[in-house]
């Protein structure tokens, strides 16, 4: 495993709180796997035997509803882990995972992690922290769906991607707009309308680039009361 990937794994939420010697042991025993864009990592209902850390690229987790519709549960990138809770319970994956872009994953065997938990109880704390972080993220998604307009959710998405501290900033959209829409709980046509509304707040979209005229102005809009934001968008 490349030194860069070892460091990504060590800094991930999964291993950040694990004693260093235990983390190193588990990382050395892990596998690096590469997936092409569109490749299936695991299927919904498949036995969960591994936990994954994203080293490069993007991965989406999704569920297929009985009517065949796809619901995006989460999108993960460099340093993020997924699959902890179900893998440690020997359960089935409740979601499917797919490579959104060409990606590289660090695959940690659940059985090896369970052995370390039995021997070193502090490892369990790291797993709890990781699981809690996933829960917080899901709660945040639900809160956004309930408390923000579509345009506000898109604004917050762009702000999360921004690498600038203030002022003008260009943001690269990391994956296609259909997936962005699914990630934000809207249809593609609703995303297009949200992008159009954000033009009034200093955002312009060119293919896979978003140019933000003023980060603070966009942040104020994203945090505004939804009723106020809705009236401004009309």
Mean pLDDT estimate for the chain: 88
Alpha-carbon distance values, 85 to 52, 81, 135, 149 (Å) = 12, 11, 11, 32
Residues 66 and 82 in one domain: yes
Question: Which residue has tokens 């709180």?
Answer: 17
**Residue 32: what pLDDT?**
96
**Residue 226: what pLDDT?**
63
pLDDT for 138 beyond 80: no
Quote the tokens at residue 25. Answer: 């042991």
**Residue 14: what pLDDT?**
86
Residue 38: Cβ-neighbour burial (10 angstroms; 0-12, 13-18, 19+): exposed
- Note the pTM of the prediction, 2 decimals: 0.82
**Residue 76: what pLDDT?**
93
Residues 118 and 226 in one domain: no
Residues 123 and 172 in one domain: no
Q: What's the CATH number where 200 sits? A: 1.10.10.10
Residues 137 and 192 in one domain: no
- Residue pLDDT, tens place only, 17-47: 888 889 999 999 999 999 999 999 999 999 9
- Residue pLDDT, tens place only, 97-128: 999 999 999 999 999 988 988 888 878 877 77
Residues 131 and 157 in one domain: no
Q: Compute, in degrees rounded to 10, the torsion defined by CA atoms 79, 80, 81, 82.
A: -160
- Residue pLDDT, tens place only, 60-78: 999 987 887 788 888 999 9
- Residue pLDDT, tens place only, 196-229: 999 999 999 988 899 999 999 999 998 887 656 5
Q: What's the CATH number where 84 sits? A: 2.60.120.10
pLDDT for 135 beyond 90: no
Question: 94: how many CB neighbours lie within 10 A of its CB?
Answer: 13
**Residue 13: what pLDDT?**
84
**Residue 200: what pLDDT?**
92
Residues 63 and 177 in one domain: no
pLDDT for 7 beyond 90: yes
Residues 137 and 152 in one domain: no
Q: What is the pLDDT averaged over residues 87-96? A: 88
């Amino acid at each position: 495993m490349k030194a860069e990937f070892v460091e990504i794994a060590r800094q991930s939420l999964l291993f950040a709180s694990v004693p260093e010697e235990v983390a190193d042991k588990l990382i050395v025993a892990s596998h690096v796997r590469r997936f092409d864009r569109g490749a299936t990592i695991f299927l919904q209902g498949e036995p969960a035997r591994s936990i994954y850390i994203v080293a490069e690229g993007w991965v989406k987790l999704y569920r297929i509803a009985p009517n065949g519709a796809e619901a995006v549960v989460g999108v993960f990138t460099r340093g993020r882990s997924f699959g902890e809770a179900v893998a440690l319970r020997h359960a089935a994956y409740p979601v499917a995972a797919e490579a959104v872009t060409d990606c590289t994953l660090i695959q940690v065997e659940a059985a090896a992690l369970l052995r370390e938990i039995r021997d070193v109880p502090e490892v369990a704390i790291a797993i709890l922290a990781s699981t809690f972080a996933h829960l917080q993220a899901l709660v945040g998604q639900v809160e956004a769906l309930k408390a923000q307009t579509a345009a506000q959710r898109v604004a917050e998405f762009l702000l999360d991607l921004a690498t600038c501290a203030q002022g003008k900033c260009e943001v690269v959209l990391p994956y296609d707009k259909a997936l962005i829409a699914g990630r934000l709980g809207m249809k593609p046509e609703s995303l297009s309308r949200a992008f159009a509304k954000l033009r009034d707040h200093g955002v312009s979209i060119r293919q896979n680039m978003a140019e933000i005229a003023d980060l603070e102005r966009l942040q104020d809009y994203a945090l505004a009361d939804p009723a106020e934001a809705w009236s401004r968008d009309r």
